[in-house]
Structure 1
Amino acid sequence: MFRTALRNVLAHKARLLMTVLAVMLGVAFVSGTLVFTNTLSNALQNSSAKGFDQVDVAVLPGVGDDAGDTTGQPPQLTQALLDESAKVPGAASVIGVVSGFTAIADKDGNLVGDGFQSQGGNYWSDKDARYPLSDGAAPKGAGQVALDAKTAERAGYQVGDTVRLSVDGPVLSPTLSGIFTTDDGNVTAGGSLALFDTATAQRLYGKVGAYDEIDVKAAAGTSQAALKAALDKALPRNAVETTTATKLADDQARNIASEMSGLKQGLLVFAGIALFVGTFIIANTFTMLVAQRTKELALMRAVGASRRQVTRSVLIEAFVVGAVAAVTGLIAGIGIGAGLKALLGTLGATVPDGPLVVTPGTVGAALAVGILITMLAAWLPGRRAAKIPPVAAMSSVHATATTKSLVLRNTLGALFSGAGIAVVLAATSMSGSDGQAPMGIGAVLLIIGVFILTPLLSRPLIAAAGPFMRVFGVSGKLARQNSVRNPRRTAATASALMIGLTLITGMTVMAGSLQQAIDKMASASIRADYIVSMANGNGLSPDVAEKLAKTPGVTAVSPLTDAAVLIDDTSEWITGVTGGAIGELTSLTVDDGTFKVGGSQVVVDDRTAKSRGWKADSTFTVIYDDGQKQRLTVAGVYEGNEVVSGIMLDNTQLAPHRTDAADHTDMQVMVKTSDGATSATKDKLAKALGANPAIKIQDKKDISNEIAQMFTLMLNMLYGLLAMAVLVAVLGVVNTLAMSVFERSQEIGMLRAIGLDRKGIKRMVRLESLVISLFGGVLGIGLGVFFGWAAGELVGTSMPTYELVLPWARMALFLLLAATVGILAALWPARRAARMNMLAAIQSE
């Protein structure tokens, strides 16, 4: 039986190729998605990663006062502590580390590494092992800087050029002294790194004579634990804290894993969808394949093979096919993953740099899908074929489904669909994150239910295309009848496209609706033409608001200063604003009282007021940083949103209580101008601030785009995955049509014999493919709109401006895409059908 199975595999080379292709598609879809998502996830993780090659023990600032500090601030890591660390037994070398935000502009004045961290630090010595120079020399003095090679390449800088940069202050123009290489994860992921000499870095980052960290390298033969113990003994207790590199690496891995958990869950959803699509493509292919071989398997039974032997022979064939397809599919998937990454960049998404990641899990998944799922997919139809009595099987090409099996299938489909709809509708009435898990479960149940019901749904939906098909005469009529004659085959062909379009339509509906809600929120709540802030989210110097107020054409300015206060023994954030201007810069709906900020009067957003039981004329006491108390009165309660919220207090009341000058910064500055938001006005404001790359000047559209940036990135990722799903759908339809043509060889030969010409045969196959693809497209778009609506209902509980927006143009494009898939997929099968020898086809078995 083993030899018979192998001979069967090799005897039908065309059938073998089509089956291998179908399995390979499933494997490629799964492995390509895993390669792509792992690559993206790894690059984003690297952006937070820090290497520990040059450190065995890190010395960090402590929390005590052994160093004589009585201000309550953490002790500094001074030069004396660094020198003391270098003398500790077992210490081979020490490095004092200084770091901070550094924005670098390219030659066009744009921020390099936008979307990732822009960092700076100190180059320790002429031969700093952390940053080997690839060109030029180490930076020396305030007029020189070194850049990492990737940043220099992106910005177009070479050694000797003048570099524009900013370190939380005015624009600097040092000379590029050298270019270095680094395995710093932030740089690898697309960030930037600028290095100064140690004295310059300490001055620029406000740490003169001090360090953020002291890295100690152990001498040969000294363990990290022994070095840590020696440092603990030599350095002042509580003034410093020592940690081994191993623990730092473990803590970092744990923190990164925590930060990445949400993104990983989203990426795993894509991988799960890929696995689902790949699995049913393989299962349906083998179902059709075994159905075509029913007579052959029955003959084996007739000459003495047992049911178990017949089933085993099918499984052996499945193993051979799966093994070959798994390897080729994995290779194709790696290429697809690389192509998706490149495609994502062309769609306008900020794509992190990083190597292509092929994990053992990806290889295992490819082999599991290719071999295990192929064998599992072949087992059920093989077992079913083995149960058919030989005489009955040899009387027909394939056994038709029994009424009992159809009733069971439709009942299961109805139960799954009903349960899915019920769970999704129940989730829409929940709030926020509480409804996410139920909605996901409901969506999976509904998709499975629709997939099971697809053969039943195919008849009425394809029948609706009857008037269109009549235009093409006999070919159109035959194509429509062929489409519904074998509903299971039609469902198998349409389902891959259905799932891809369900996903992308749902996300497109969500993205469009969210973008409009955010735009409406920004335009409805902000009258200011521009919001000015730091690119890294840090505070702005008070000088920024003063410079903007003096700029010609500026009519109103209000800095927004956040401060932590105590209210009823609980912490609360309060925002300092310019009371006389904030009403002119915002347009907020007031639910209670009046919008008035000045003196002891404040305005509060509705959520805060509700949680604390406040209303207009309510009073409460705040305790500031300096311990002083003040009694404030709620002048009004306004409707807060994602753009404007919180307690607003006049800056004249807040400023005297800011004890730390370093904290006396503004998070944002609102600006209104006489000319409105124009490119000329924006350039004028940028010029007034010294064209500083560290400062962002955004209009309302920029703000809404930034809020929606993560969702836009996910949507662009989906468009990349859609490209792969379309490829899978095209080849899947090709495969199914080719098998259908092979199965109907006698029928096609008879049609040719009674007068249907080759053009008519081609037209019949193409129209059949077109109708099936459009059927999958209509189902996918319909499900996508339903899921988009349901998810929007969930989001709408926390976003009052949210309302459903149907992207009619894109949905029409998706339907056109489905039609294109059908037309392209039918080219080869139609040509093959038309070129058949009619007499040979009539005689075929």
Structure 2
Amino acid sequence: MFRTALRNVLAHKARLLMTVLAVMLGVAFVSGTLVFTNTISDAYQKSSAKGFDRVDVAVQPKYRDAEGDKLGELHELNRAVLDRSSRVPGAAQAIGVVTGFTAMADKDGKLIGDGFQSQGGNYWGTKDPRYPLVRGHAPKGRGEILIDSATAERTGYRVGDTVRLSVDGPVLTPRITGVFTTDDGNVAAGGSLALFDTATAQQLFGKAGTYDQIDVTAKAGVTQAALKAELDKALPKDVVETTTGKRLADDQARAITESMSGMRTALLVFAGIALFVGTFIIANTFTMLVAQRTRELALLRAVGASRRQVTRSVLVEAFVVGAVAAVTGLLAGIGIGAGLRSLLGSFGATVPDGPLVITPGTVLTAFAVGILVTMLAAWLPGRRAAKIPPVAAMSSVHAKATTKSLVLRNTLGALFSAAGVAVVLAATTMNGSDGQAPMGLGAVLLIIGVFILTPLLSRPLIAAAAPALRAFGVSGKLARQNSVRNPRRTAATASALMIGLTLITGMTVMAGSLQKSIDKMAASAVRADYVVSMANGNLLSPDVERKLKRTDGVTATSPLRLAPSRIDGETEYLTGVDGATIGELTDLEVDDGSFRVGGGQVVVDQDTAKLHGWKAGSSFTTAFEDGEKRKLTVAGVYEGNELIRGIMIDTATLAPHESDPADMQVMVKTADGASGATKDRLVEALGTNPAIKVQDKKDLSDEVARMFTLMLNMVYGLLAMAVIIAVLGVINTLAMSVFERSQEIGMLRAIGLDRKGTKRMVRLESLVISLFGGVLGIGLGVFFGWAAGELLASKMATYELVLPWARMAVFLLLAATVGVLAALWPARRAARLNMLAAIKAE
């Protein structure tokens, strides 16, 4: 039986090729994902570990405990702590580290990196072991800086050039005095690093005379643990904490692994979808192969083979196919991993150098996935074939499914579908994240239910295409009849395409609806012409608002300032605004009371009011940052949104209690409204600062749109794998169907159907099956997009369902294209059949 199974594989290698390709693509996706994420993670971990090579023990400040209602804050690492650290037994050197956001512009005045990765720091003395100089000399004073070699190479800056930069304040134009190398992961990821002398860095970053961290290196022969013990004895435990360099490296490696886990999970989900789609094709292929060999298997049973041996022979075939697919898929996956890494570079992101990482786990996963998926998909057809009595198999009385089995299938499908719809609808009534898991469960149940019901659905839906097919004469009529002749096969073929289009349509509906909702939110809630913020999301200096207020054409400004406070013993953030102008800059609907902010009067969003049981006229006591308490009165309750929410208080009331005030954003209204000239005037008033963004409503919407477009394009790219596998499934089904109907096609040719008509028949059959899968997929995708939107609507009042009709038409056209392309080879093969040889075929 083993030899027979191997011979069957070799005898049907052409028919099994598509199955191998389907499994191979799924395995390639899984192994490629693992290779890619392992490689990136390993590269960053090694790069990060290099950064800790010169740190044996790090001294970091502790948080000072809160005193009464006064909030806790970090202790300071001053010069005394630095000197004491450098003098402990076993210490070779102690370096005070100062870091902060530093926005550097390129030669075109544009921000280098993406803001979050634009950093600055201090260069220690005349020679800093952390940053080896490639050329030039150490910086001195505010007029000199060093830049990293990667930034120098990307921008073309050289020693002696002047660069524009900002450190949470006015624009500086220092001269580059040197270029250094670094293992900093942010720089490797496309960011920039600028270094000042220590005194300048402390002044610019608002840390005069203090440090963020002290890095201590040990003398030769002194272990990190021994040095840490000495530092713990010498330094006050209530002020500082010490951590070994090894622990820092391990923590960083763990953080990198955790940050990569999200990407890995997302990629593996899509790989799972590709495999899930491939499973249909494998099961379909083996079902047809077994059906075509029914008499052969019956003969084996008649000469003594047991049911188990027949099932086992089919599983051996599946094992061989799975093993071949696993090997080729693993090799292709290694290529995909390398390609994805290179692709990062094309998006402007760079990754630290390092080899491709192919772990034993990746190899084992590839083989397990390839072999197990194939064998599981082939098990049911093999078992079904083994249960057919030999005499019945030889007389083909088993060919059609019994009425009982069809009723059972349709009942089961109806139950799964009903359960799925019920769970999804129930999830839409839940609040936010609570409904995510039930909705996912409901989606899976519904997809399974529709898949089971697809044979039943195929007849009425394909029958709807009959009027269009009549236009093609006999070929069209035959194509329709062939499509519904074997509903189960049609269902399995169409389902592969259905799943891919369900996900693509659902994501498109979600992205379009979210974009429209955010546009609507910005238009309805914000009257300001411009919103000014930091490029990296950090806080703005209050000087920014003062400069904008003095700019010609500006009629109103207001900051949005977050300030910590304590209410009922819990930390709660207040939103500081200009009480006199905030009503002119926003358009928030008030549900209770009136929108008045000033003195002791505040306005509160609905969620916060509900949480505390407040309404218009309610009073509460808050403790500000400095511990001072004040009684505040709720003047009104407004409908908050993702842009504006919280407890709004006048900055005049808030400012006396703040030690270091800073704004999240500044809202600006101008006399002439939003225009290119007005925007240029505001940018110029702020010193053409690369650290600051000036955005109108369209800019804000475009920024959100870019994020959704990038996400959507990634999803399209990933789901393209599932669509490719679906194409292979259609080709496979049609090719086997042509082989199965060779005698019939020969008879049709003999009675007058020409080659062109034969080709048209096969192509129309493929087109109908693909469009059937496309219609089901788009329909399910719209339903899931609507359901997910209802879940979001509980958190986003402006959410509005948008159906992307144009894109859905493109998706339907895509399904039709899949059908046409998939039929090219099978149609050509059918047309070239020798009619006499076909008529004589068994």
- TM more than 0.5: yes
Secondary structure at the residue paired with 2:815? helix
The superposition leaves residues 257-304 of structure 1 with CA deviations (integer Å, 9 ceiling, x where unpaired) of 666776665555434323322333322222222222222222333343
Q: Note the aligned Cα RMSD (angstroms).
A: 3.2
Structure 2 CA distance, aligned partners of 1:39 and 1:492?
Answer: 37
Opposite residue 445 of structure 2, the aligned amino acid is: L
Counterpart of 1:121? 121
Cα pair distance change 1:173/1:390, threshold 3 Å: same
Return the offset for 1:54: 2.6
| Contact persistence 1:605–1:645 (CA under 8 A) | yes
What is aligned with 1:628?
628
8 Å CA contact 1:33–1:721 kept in 2: the answer is no
- TM-score normalised by L of structure 2: 0.92
Give CA-to-partner distance per residue, 1:714-734, whole Å, 9 cap, x none: 323212213222222222222
1:808 and 2:805 equivalent? yes
Which of 50-59 and 591-600 deviates more? Answer: 50-59
Between 1:106-115 and 1:75-84, the stretch displaced more is: 75-84
How far 1:420 sits from its partner (Å)? 0.7
On the 8 A contact 2:115/2:535 being kept in 1, the answer is: no
Go from structure 1 to structure 2 and tell me whether the alpha carbon gap of 1:192 and 1:772 turns closer, same or farther (over 3 Å shift).
farther
Moved more, 674-683 or 73-82: 73-82
Q: What's the counterpart of residue 407 of structure 2?
A: 407
CA shift for structure 1 position 757: 1.4
Distance 1:499 1:337, change over 3 A: farther
Q: 1:388 and 1:268 mapped to 2: Cα distance?
A: 39
Distance 1:425 1:838, change over 3 A: same
Taking structure 1 as reference, are residues 774 and 89 closer, same or farther at Cα in structure 2, changes over 3 Å only?
A: same
Residue 717 of structure 2 corresponds to: 720
Q: Using the alignment, how far apart are the partners of 2:42 and 2:698 within structure 1?
A: 31
Residue among 732, 754, 768 paired with 1:771: 768
1:224 maps to a residue whose letter is: Q
Aligned counterpart, 1:574: 574
Instruction: Name which of 699, 703, 728 aligns with 1:702.
Output: 699
> Which region of structure 1 is more displaced relative to structure 2, 496-505 or 621-630?
621-630
Alpha-carbon distance in structure 1 between the residues aligned to 2:692 and 2:716: 32
> Could you tell me how far apart the structure 1 residues matched to 2:475 and 2:28 are?
35
Contact 1:47 1:187 in 2 (8 A): no
Residue 777 to residue 697, structure 1, CA distance change in 2 (3 Å): same
Contact 2:600 2:653 in 1 (8 A): yes
Deviates more, 1:46-55 or 1:638-647: 46-55
Deviations 1:782-841 (A, max 9, x none): 001111111111111122211211111111111111111111111122122222222222
Structure 1 residues 459-517: Cα deviation after superposition (integer angstroms, max 9, x where no partner): 11111111111111111111111111111221222112111111111111111111111
> 2 CA distance for matches of 1:336 and 1:820?
26
Q: Residues 603-653 of structure 1, C-alpha deviation per residue, up to 9 Å, x if partnerless? A: 222222232233333333333233333333332222111111122222222
Tell me, yes or no, if the aligned pair for 2:171 and 2:687 is still in contact at 8 Å. yes
Contact 1:105 1:155 in 2 (8 A): no
For residue 826 of structure 1, what is the aligned residue in structure 2? Answer: 823
Checking the alignment, whether the CA contact within 8 Å between 2:116 and 2:536 is kept in structure 1 is: no
Which residue of structure 2 lines up, in the alignment, with residue 679 of structure 1? 676
| Corresponding residue of 2:550 | 550
Q: Equivalent residue of 1:579, what SS?
A: coil
Q: How does 1:247-396 map to 2 (within 5 A)?
A: 247-252=247-252, 266-336=266-336, 353=351, 360-396=360-396
Q: Give the letter aligned to residue 829 of structure 2.
A: R
1:679 shift after superposition:
2.2
Aligned to 2:531: 531
Is the CA contact 1:33–1:274 (under 8 Å) kept in the aligned structure 2? no
Letter in 2 for 1:110: K
Cα distance in 1 for partners of 2:841, 2:30 equals 37
Deviates more, 1:425-434 or 1:205-214: 205-214
How many angstroms apart in 1 are the aligned matches of 2:190 and 2:237? 39
CA–CA distance in structure 1, aligned partners of residues 596 and 725 of structure 2: 60
CA distance in 2 between counterparts of 1:761 and 1:545 reads: 75
- Conserved in 1, the CA contact under 8 Å of 2:274 and 2:721? no
| One-letter amino acid matched to 2:672 | D
**What residue ranges of structure 2 are gaps of 5+ in the alignment?**
none
Q: CA deviation at 1:657?
A: 2.0
Partner Cα distance (2:134, 2:497) in 1: 50
Is the CA contact 1:158–1:176 (under 8 Å) kept in the aligned structure 2?
yes
Residue type at the aligned position of 1:803: E
| Cα distance in 2 between the residues matched to 1:243 and 1:593 | 54
Residue-by-residue CA offset, 1:745-782 (whole Å, 9 max, x unaligned): 22222222222111111111111111111111111110
Mapping of residues 682-693 of structure 1, within 5 Å: 682-693=679-690
CA distance in 1, matches of 2:159, 2:472: 69
Cα drift, residue 44 of structure 1: 10
Query: What is the alpha-carbon distance in structure 2 between the residues aligned to residue 345 and residue 505 of structure 1?
Result: 29
Equivalent residue number for residue 27 of structure 2: 27
Deviation at 1:335, TM superposition (A): 4.1
**Residue 239 (structure 2) aligns with:** 239
Whole-angstrom distance in 1 between the partners of 2:516 and 2:597:
30
Structure 2 equivalent of residue 746 of structure 1: 743
* CA shift for structure 1 position 520: 1.0
Moved more, 808-817 or 102-111: 102-111
Deviation of the 1:446 alpha carbon? 0.7
Match of 2:611 in 1: 611
Q: Which residue of 2 aligns with 1:733?
A: 730
Distance in 2 between residues matched to 1:39 and 1:489, nearest whole Å? 41
Distance in 2, matches of 1:430 and 1:37, equals 35
Decide which moves more: 743-752 or 414-423: 743-752
Work out whether residues 462 and 484 of structure 2, in 8 Å CA contact, stay in contact via their aligned partners in 1: yes
Distance in 2, matches of 1:495 and 1:37, equals 31
Residue 598 in 1 paired to residue 598 in 2?
Answer: yes
Tell me the distance in 2 between the aligned counterparts of 1:219 and 1:582: 60
Residue 665 of structure 2 corresponds to residue 668 of structure 1: yes
With 665-674 and 699-708 compared, the bigger mean Cα shift is at: 699-708
Q: Which runs of 5+ in 1 are unaligned?
A: none
Residue 444 of structure 1: how far off its partner (Å): 0.8
| CA distance in structure 2 between the aligned counterparts of 1:673 and 1:137, rounded to whole angstroms | 47
Counterpart contact for 1:46–1:188, Cα < 8 Å = no
Cα deviation 1:206-254 (Å, max 9, x = unaligned):
3344321122334454332222112212334433211123333444455
Output the CA distance in 1 between the equivalents of 2:272 and 2:340: 17
Number of equivalences: 836
- Determine helix, strand or coil for the equivalent of 1:615: coil
- Residue type at the aligned position of 1:836: L
CA offset digits 1:174-232 (Å, max 9, x no partner): 33444444443333334332233434333322334432112233445433222211221
Cα offset, 1:442, TM superposition:
0.6
The equivalent of 1:458 in structure 2 is 458
C-alpha distance in 1 between matches for 2:634 and 2:96? 50
Partners in 2 of 1:42 and 1:421 — Cα distance?
43
Instruction: Provide, for residues 323-369 of structure 1, a one-character-per-residue CA deviation record: whole Å limited to 9, x for no partner.
Output: 111111233344456666778998xx886757877665544332222
Equivalent residue, structure 2, for 1:225: 225
Structure 1 pair 444–795 and aligned structure 2 pair: CA distance change class (3 A): same
In 1, are the aligned partners of 2:16 and 2:285 still within 8 Å (CA)? no
Q: Deviation at 1:142? A: 3.7
Code of the aligned partner of 2:222:
T
Q: Deviations over 1:664-688 (max 9, x none)?
A: 2222111011221222221211111
Report the counterpart of residue 10 of structure 1 in structure 2: 10
Identity between Structure 1 and Structure 2 (%): 78
Moved more, 181-190 or 436-445: 181-190
Q: What is the aligned partner in structure 2 of residue 586 from structure 1? A: 586
C-alpha separation in 2, matches of 1:44 and 1:410: 53
The aligned runs of 1:639-650 (5 Å cut-off) are 639-650=639-650
The CA distance in 2 between the partners of 1:515 and 1:614, in whole Å, is 33
Structure 2 CA distance for aligned equivalents of residues 136 and 731 of structure 1: 60
Aligned to 2:501: 501
Conservation of the 8 A alpha-carbon contact between 2:504 and 2:719: yes
Choose 760-769 or 184-193, whichever is displaced more.
184-193
